[in-house]
Amino acid sequence: MTGTDFLALSPMIALGLASVAVLLQSAVARSRQAPFLLTLAGAIAAFALIPAASSVAPHQATSLIIVDHFSLFITGLLVAGGFAVALLAYGYFERRSEDKEEFYVLLLAATFGSVLLVSSNHFISFFLGLEVLNVSLYILIAYLGERKPLEAGLKYFVLASASTAFLVFGMALVYAETGTMEFSRISFATGADSAIFVTGFALVLGGLAFKLALVPFHMWTPDVYQGAPAPVTAFVATVSKGAVFALLLRFFIETDALSNPSMLLLISILSAASMIAGNILALMQNNIKRLLAYSSIAHLGYLLVAFVAGRDLAVPAATFYLVAYFISILAAFGVVSVLSTAGKEPETLEEYRSLFWSRPWTALVLSASLFSLAGIPLTVGFIGKFFLLAAGVGSARWFLVLVLVLTSAISIYYYLRVIVALYSTPPEERVRPARQIIPWTGGIILAGLLVAMIWFGVYPSSIMNIIRSAIF
């Protein structure tokens, strides 16, 4: 390890040191605010060190990790997501009696694993990052210790363990055929004639498809989203999936798998199936968290439309849509978090009915997030879908473009169901009741997300220029 290596890895090191600091502080004295403040400090430090790491990028830090502008951009996105979840979690746990210190240790560890994933260009770092993320998520999902969270954590543990077994077996087959675990030395163009190589590659793709909740590997998603604490659900939906998708994009580009017709066909099937099944299943939901779970399945299907468009079109379109998805889904689950009470989260559609008349600000944020997820103009989600369509049309993926348009039209119906419920007149009284105070941390992050949704929807070039400069 050289000084340049340490500089390139400094954002990751900051997250690791922050998690250790929170752990040591919790061992010395229990505190409500110290772990939270240390977590925020660690996230801010990691984010602030990204420009320093960028000054030496691209840089190969050992044979396991590549620090380039793309990985640093995604690192910034993941750290920002972790920061937002920490703010939401603080207000959420203030209403509950559970110990909070361990939550922040696990949150930092999961964010560290996610950052390691996006910088991986070797199967070893790939596996280590994925397992750091997974083991942290097992506990975070079940953190409340109640029946639903425990059930959700157990389901995720069993299914994620099985998918990891397929993933590792796929890595072993690829290694047996190529003799290397470095992405850049694995070429699909030279291994496509080998049944062992193709089988291994398909197993790796299947393992990652589970982490992304793509159809038919999606069945865990609604139960885990519903059972996990709302801030943890937000983390799973954004940081966890964003890291895995960025890794998948790097892996397929560096191994030249996107040039193979069979792999493109397989990914196209996963994309179309996820868009269709995710939106149709969301139509039948009256539980908000389950509706957003099936919606997230569809959105990952949308992302794959850009994925199959080829490198020149895939990376900028997919990365922008990932940013749009992060902002929109964090805002939606952020509303669920701030509305949660000591013993219950608002989940059913009826619990959100007439919300505007009691909490107009919260209803406005939720409406904006749903409009963005639906791809309505003047929101970042609209620009994101425009780029996806442009990528699909530019690469002549007409079937996927058609499915994207039709399923997006379907999604408008179930998003509007929620929005109509938010603004419906209260059945017993038409006078708006007194406003209720939401946690200040939740209010800050919801305000920031609302501004980002509108700003990037009206001025997308402000973020698109950064994305173009980060393309590897």
* pLDDT of 172 over the 70 cut: yes
Q: What confidence tens digit (pLDDT) does each residue in 300-347 have? A: 999 999 888 766 667 888 889 999 999 999 999 999 988 887 778 888
Where would I find the H helices in 213-287?
221-227, 230-235, 241-254, 261-283
* pLDDT of 406 over the 80 cut: yes
Of all residues in the chain, the percent with pLDDT exceeding 90 is: 49
Q: What confidence tens digit (pLDDT) does each residue in 45-67 have? A: 999 999 999 888 788 888 889 98
**And the tokens for 17?**
């040191």
Q: Which of 32-46, 167-181, 316-330, 338-352 has the lowest mean pLDDT?
A: 338-352
> Looking at residues 438-452, what average pLDDT do you find?
86
Binned at pLDDT 50, 70 and 90, residue 436 comes out as: low
* pLDDT of 234 over the 80 cut: yes
Q: What confidence tens digit (pLDDT) does each residue in 196-218 have? A: 888 888 899 999 999 998 988 88
Nearest-5° angle of CA 465, CA 468, CA 472? 155
> Looking at residues 409-428, what average pLDDT do you find?
87
> Looking at residues 13-18, what average pLDDT do you find?
93
Q: Single out the residue of 252, 361, 357 nearest to residue 314, CA to CA.
A: 252
The predicted structure's pLDDT at residue 192: 64
The predicted structure's pLDDT at residue 191: 65
| Better pLDDT: 437 or 20 | 20
| Better pLDDT: 470 or 298 | 298
Of all residues in the chain, the percent with pLDDT exceeding 70 is: 94
Using only C-alpha atoms, the chain has a radius of gyration, in whole angstroms, of: 21
State residue 233 phi and psi, 5-degree precision.
-60, -40
Average pLDDT value over all residues in the chain: 87
**Spatial distance between the Cα atoms of 313 and 392, rounded to a whole number of angstroms:** 8
Please name every residue paired with 59 in a beta bridge, in sequence order, or none if there are none. Answer: 67
The predicted structure's pLDDT at residue 429: 55
The DSSP secondary-structure symbol of 439 reads: P
**And the tokens for 76?**
């910034």
One-letter amino acid for residue 184 of the chain: S
Q: Which of 39-43, 82-86, 160-164, 290-294 has the lowest mean pLDDT?
A: 160-164
* pLDDT of 233 over the 90 cut: yes
The predicted structure's pLDDT at residue 343: 72
Binned at pLDDT 50, 70 and 90, residue 434 comes out as: very low
pTM over 0.85: yes
Helix or strand holding residue 186 (H, E): none
* pLDDT of 433 over the 50 cut: no
The predicted structure's pLDDT at residue 379: 92
Cα separation values, 321 from 35, 41, 264, Å:
32, 28, 20
Are the beta carbons of 357 and 426 closer than 8 angstroms? yes
**Spatial distance between the Cα atoms of 247 and 32, rounded to a whole number of angstroms:** 35
Please name every residue paired with 182 in a beta bridge, in sequence order, or none if there are none. Answer: 122
Query: How many other CB atoms sit within 10 Å of the CB of residue 350?
Result: 10
Are the beta carbons of 414 and 291 closer than 8 angstroms? yes
Q: Single out the residue of 158, 161, 142, 297 nearest to residue 228, CA to CA.
A: 142
* pLDDT of 189 over the 70 cut: no
